[in-house]
Amino acid sequence: MLEISHVAKEYPSPRGPLTVLSGVSLALKRGDSAAIMGPSGAGKSTLLYIAGGLEPPTAGVVTLDGTNPYQLAEKQLAAFRNQKIGFIFQDHCLLPQCSVLENVLIPTLVAHDAADAPRRARELLDQVGLADRLDHRPAELSGGEKQRVALARALIRRPHLLLCDEPTGNLDEASAERVADLLMELHAGQQTMLIVVTHSAALAARFPLRYELRHANLNPAGA
């Protein structure tokens, strides 16, 4: 279960504090999936970072499976994120010097239960249609292929929470739809909690829960 309660976020700026989020609440349980839309600069990525244990809120509380990540020491927090959370970043963040297979295996390097990781990595890469690209470097992949590697990497540790920041941004319509299909399929199969930030109304429409972030507030879309 993910609970985001009354979260606020301010960034300091030379002209005084910049309020990006104010009193944002969101709760998801196992199997839930939500889309978050909103204008550029509204704070969508910031909210995902806060949900993912990557950026402490200025006020409010985040708990995932009963633990507040921001109360953990740095080392425990890193382990918690690694074990519980899969993140697909807006710019996918693949390591350029590593192969496709190595990129997917990165989250398992710090885990102690990773004996079957190479097998699972190959299985996931097969599921995302990249079984014949294992040895490619990111520079040798198309945009959609990179997004699919990022998806496989986010799922390798069977996260409870999968956070995707515009997973189909920068893709043509057909590739975006393929990545979205995969995302929905993998989410349904693994019963994770899923939050997707997107500018695509078509992608958002596929989610049972839809929110809009605007003026630092999160509201049901269309409300």
Ligand X SMILES: Nc1ncnc2c1ncn2[C@@H]1O[C@H](COP(=O)(O)OP(=O)(O)OP(=O)(O)O)[C@@H](O)[C@H]1O
**According to the binding rule CB under 5 A, does residue 45 interact with Mg ion?**
yes
Single-letter code of the amino acid located at 69? P
**According to the binding rule CB under 6 A, does residue 42 interact with ligand X?**
yes
| Residue (38 or 159) nearer to ligand X, CB | 38
Edge-to-edge strand ranges of the sheet holding 193-197: 85-88, 161-165, 193-197, 33-37, 209-214, 217-220
State the binding string over 76-105 for ligand X (x if CB under 6 A, else -). Answer: --------------x---------------
Residue 18 binds which of ligand X, Mg ion, none (CB < 5-8 A, kind-dependent)? ligand X
Closest contact distance (angstroms) between CB of 205 and ligand X is 18
Q: Identify the H or E element spanning 172.
A: none
Distances from the Cα of 49 to the Cαs of 70, 81, 116, 178, 184, in angstroms?
A: 12, 11, 29, 25, 21
Identified binder of ligand X from the candidate list 40, 112, 174, 220, rule CB under 6 A: 40
Interface with Mg ion: number of residues (CB under 5 A): 1
Closest among 136, 132, 129 to 103, alpha carbons compared: 136
Residue 14 binds which of ligand X, Mg ion, none (CB < 5-8 A, kind-dependent)? none
Closest contact distance (angstroms) between CB of 151 and ligand X is 19
CA 189/CA 10 separation, integer angstroms: 37
CA 141/CA 147 separation, integer angstroms: 10
Given the rule CB under 6 A, which residues bind ligand X? 11, 18, 20, 38, 40-46, 90
Given the rule CB under 5 A, which residues bind Mg ion? 45
